[in-house]
Amino acid sequence: MKRLATIGGSPRIANAKGRPFAANPVLDVQLPSWRSRFVLFVLFLALLLLAGRAVWLQGISTNFLQKKGESRFARTLELPATRGKILDRNGQVLASSIPVRAIWAIPEDVKEAPKDKLRQLAKLLDMSEKELNKKLNSDKGFVYLQRQVESDVADAVVKLGIRGVQTKREYKRYYPEGSVMAHVVGFTNVEGRGQESMELMHHAMLAGVDGNRRVIKDRLGNIVEDMRAVREPKEGKDLVLSIDNRIQYIAHAKLKEAVETHKAKAGGIVVLDVRTGEVLALANLPTYNPNNRKLLTGPQLRNRVITDTYEPGSTIKPFVVALALEKEIVKPTSKIQTGSGKMKVGNATIRDAHQFETLTVEEVIEKSSNIGMAKMALQMQPQDMWEMFTTIGFGQQPRIGFPGAAAGRVRPYEAWRPIEQATMSYGHGISTSLLQVARSYMIFARNGDLIPLTFQKTATQPIGQRVISEKTAHAVRKMMEMAAGPEGTAPFAQVPGYRVAGKTGTTHKLANGRYVKQYVSSFVGFAPASNPRIVVAVMIDDPSGGKYYGGDVAAPVFSAVAANALRTMNVPPDSLKTHIVMPTKRVQESI
């Protein structure tokens, strides 16, 4: 083998043939020179694209990408505001919010959960496995499994450790008085929105404003970092009602007793404070339990005192007499011939329950004579009667802000026929709610003026609107005291130790435009008659136990409720009578 050498800087000899190393055919490149330049250009262009993409992602699209990233791990948690309490006038809690939990799930994450744990979950939530699976098979990213779950149940759900099943804090409304206060307080739905009565009327004030905060969660839904509080919750304000829980309880109990005793379809009662216009009690039957509304029906939900109208019957008579006195058509001692108990007006006949021959105006109210009322009414201008009815609020929606308050109906006086004017004088052909009638009686209890009603506690006495003179108010009050006395139509309205004044009402019900043998029995009165403090109105719908006159059915409820309310309010007695005085012969009102 020859030695390799370099002589005078000449190339090394690679082999015996003496060829240079660079001239090796293996190293001889046959590609064109432009190709290398093209590859270099492509690499440079790719570098520019990468640099541009980096600038786009890290500079221009930063906010967009940040939001996309946060959407995968950041969550906004709602911080529910505590709904305000509802209290009675003495601070008794009528509605409050208690902490509970909502059970929710991410269906995609729960699919791999063990079957036995899902069975346990269904059992804890009082659901069937079929119902649970239906919810978990949803294509939504989030589903509620159960709302308003008690804390101990929620804790047991958490202990199951099912991936994708989480809990969330929320509140449940609780009503300590249950069905007794249902139609006053109302209730909220599962979202905490007011649905009925005070909960609906004052929802904005009670609800407050929910807050929220931003957190970071891992893929299992666990909070790993608290980022920041976005908005603090604003708690709801408490609402203090005019209702007195003690009076409400006795009103509900006595109404229930009367409805059951007389096998009635329904009933209502309202108690008003004469000085302030505050509603001290309001109850309806049938009622419902706002804590458990699974079997709630329409008739249970109706607030009949405010939303239902009926023909008030003879409870209207004192207003027509008051108008006749104001117009000087009659005096309290004026005599009216009632004949044999029948009176023709056109082709129609007006009847009295008894034959009285001659009655004074005072006795017309005491004995509840339809004929006596018709004769007074027919001496008046229809417009005057219409103005009296509308002034005391009939035919107009009460301004109490209560959902569904009924206006009732008073037809325009221009269309009245003589028989219609006559029958309206004793409460036929006109419709009102029980609340409207109760408020209207304020003009007699307050010496002639009328004030607005309120369901909120107030310390101020409102300014009244003058409707009749004080002299007329006292005169009619005396007549109503006679009506609630031993010789009147409502001796059962008497309250031992107190003078009372009031008027019975008994009317046939309308069905398909015709009167049927079903009745609405009512009594409206106030006490003590010497210096009235409360107005109590009672209505019993369709009593079918044998008795149906207002003096027999509704008046005893007035007596029991008024007696308890006056003692509760520490109103001093104004009578020496210690027991109810009954007549030898009962006088029934005319229907």
**Assigned token pair, 28:** 């001889």
What DSSP letter does each residue of 417-480 carry, written as one string?
A: -HHHHHHHTTT-S-BB-HHHHHHHTHHHHTTTEE---BSB--SSPPPPEE-S-HHHHHHHHHHH
Q: What is the pLDDT of residue 3?
A: 47
**Residue 26 counted as domain residue:** no
- Provide Rg for the chain, Cα atoms: 41
Q: Which of 183, 209, 240 marks a domain boundary?
A: 240
Euclidean distance between CA atoms 440 and 429, whole angstroms: 18
Q: Is the pLDDT of residue 227 over 80?
A: no
Q: Is the pLDDT of residue 11 over 70?
A: no
Q: What is the pLDDT of residue 25?
A: 64
Percent of the chain residues past pLDDT 70, beyond the cut: 88
E-only strand ranges, 335-430: 335-339, 342-345, 348-351, 357-360
Angle at alpha carbon of residue 76, lines to 66 and 108, rounded to 5°: 85
Higher per-residue pLDDT: 215 or 562: 562
**Assigned token pair, 472:** 């007329």
Q: What is the pLDDT of residue 413?
A: 94
Q: Are residues 302 and 195 in the same domain?
A: no
Q: What would the pLDDT profile of 144-178 be if each residue is shown by its tens digit? A: 888 888 888 888 888 888 888 888 888 889 999 99
Instruction: Tell me the average pLDDT across 91-103.
Output: 92
Of 520, 347, 457, 507, nearest to 87 by C-alpha is: 457
**Residue 35 counted as domain residue:** no
Q: Are residues 160 and 236 in the same domain?
A: yes
The enclosing domain of 137 has a CATH number of: 3.90.1310.10
Q: What would the pLDDT profile of 573-586 be if each residue is shown by its tens digit? A: 999 888 888 877 78
3-state secondary structure of 205: helix
Q: What would the pLDDT profile of 433-478 be if each residue is shown by its tens digit? A: 999 999 999 999 999 999 999 999 998 889 999 999 999 999 999 9
Q: Is the dihedral of CA 468, 470, 471, 472 positive or negative?
A: positive
Q: Is the pLDDT of residue 67 over 70?
A: no
Higher per-residue pLDDT: 345 or 78: 345
Q: Are residues 513 and 454 in the same domain?
A: yes
Q: Which residue has the tokens 């109760």?
A: 438
Euclidean distance between CA atoms 57 and 195, whole angstroms: 50
3-state secondary structure of 12: coil
Q: Give residue 447's Cα distance to chain centre.
A: 34
Q: Is the pLDDT of residue 323 over 50?
A: yes
Across the chain, mean pLDDT equals 87
**Residue 65 counted as domain residue:** no
Instruction: Tell me the average pLDDT across 253-265.
Output: 97
Angle at alpha carbon of residue 454, lines to 426 and 239, rounded to 5°: 150
Cβ pair 83, 188 in contact under 8 A = yes
Q: Are residues 190 and 270 in the same domain?
A: no
Q: Are residues 208 and 249 in the same domain?
A: no
Return the active site residues.
314
Q: What is the pLDDT of residue 533?
A: 97
**Residue 63 counted as domain residue:** no
Q: Which of 207, 240, 273 marks a domain boundary?
A: 240
Q: Is the pLDDT of residue 198 over 50?
A: yes
Q: Is the pLDDT of residue 566 over 80?
A: yes
Burial class of residue 158 (count of CB atoms within 10 Å of its CB; 0-12, 13-18, 19+): middle
Please report, for residues 31, 104, 345, 397, 521, the alpha-carbon distance to residue 369 in angstroms, rounded to integers and kept in the order given. 129, 68, 15, 30, 17
Q: What is the pLDDT of residue 5?
A: 45
Euclidean distance between CA atoms 451 and 463, whole angstroms: 7
E-only strand ranges, 110-207: 143-149, 165-174
Instruction: Tell me the average pLDDT across 6-35.
Output: 59
Cβ pair 398, 454 in contact under 8 A = no
Q: What is the pLDDT of residue 70?
A: 59
Q: Which residue has the tokens 């059915």?
A: 553
Q: Are residues 194 and 159 in the same domain?
A: yes
Q: Are residues 444 and 366 in the same domain?
A: yes
Q: What is the pLDDT of residue 565?
A: 97
Q: Is the pLDDT of residue 212 over 90?
A: no
Give the 3-state DSSP-derived string for 57-102, with helices as H, strands as E and coil as C. Answer: HHHHCHHHHHHHHHHHHEEEEEECCCCCCEECCCCCEEEEEEEEEE
Q: Are residues 173 and 136 in the same domain?
A: yes
Lowest-pLDDT choice from 6-15, 394-403, 431-440: 6-15
Domain count, the chain: 2
Euclidean distance between CA atoms 526 and 284, whole angstroms: 20
**Residue 217 counted as domain residue:** yes
Q: Are residues 218 and 273 in the same domain?
A: no
Burial class of residue 8 (count of CB atoms within 10 Å of its CB; 0-12, 13-18, 19+): exposed
Lowest-pLDDT choice from 88-102, 128-142, 194-208, 531-545: 128-142
The enclosing domain of 410 has a CATH number of: 3.40.710.10
Q: What is the pLDDT of residue 116?
A: 85
**Residue 5 counted as domain residue:** no
Q: What is the pLDDT of residue 252?
A: 98
Higher per-residue pLDDT: 367 or 18: 367
How many C-beta atoms surround the C-beta of residue 307 within 10 A? 18
**Residue 346 counted as domain residue:** yes
Classify residue 493 by its DSSP letter: G
Instruction: Tell me the average pLDDT across 122-142.
Output: 82
Q: Are residues 236 and 274 in the same domain?
A: no
Euclidean distance between CA atoms 270 and 279, whole angstroms: 7
Give the 3-state DSSP-derived string for 530-558, with helices as H, strands as E and coil as C. Answer: CCCCEEEEEEEECCCCCCCCHHHHCHHHH
Euclidean distance between CA atoms 414 and 185, whole angstroms: 41
Q: Which of 240, 266, 295 marks a domain boundary?
A: 240
Of 453, 462, 417, nearest to 435 by C-alpha is: 453
* Residue-number span of the structural domain to which 102 is assigned: 76-240
Lowest-pLDDT choice from 72-81, 525-534, 560-569: 72-81
Cβ pair 532, 476 in contact under 8 A = no
Beta 266-273 vs 501-511: how paired, if at all?
unpaired
Q: Are residues 156 and 183 in the same domain?
A: yes
Q: Are residues 290 and 263 in the same domain?
A: yes
Q: Is the pLDDT of residue 284 over 90?
A: yes
**Residue 563 counted as domain residue:** yes
Q: Is the pLDDT of residue 250 over 60?
A: yes
Euclidean distance between CA atoms 183 and 305, whole angstroms: 9
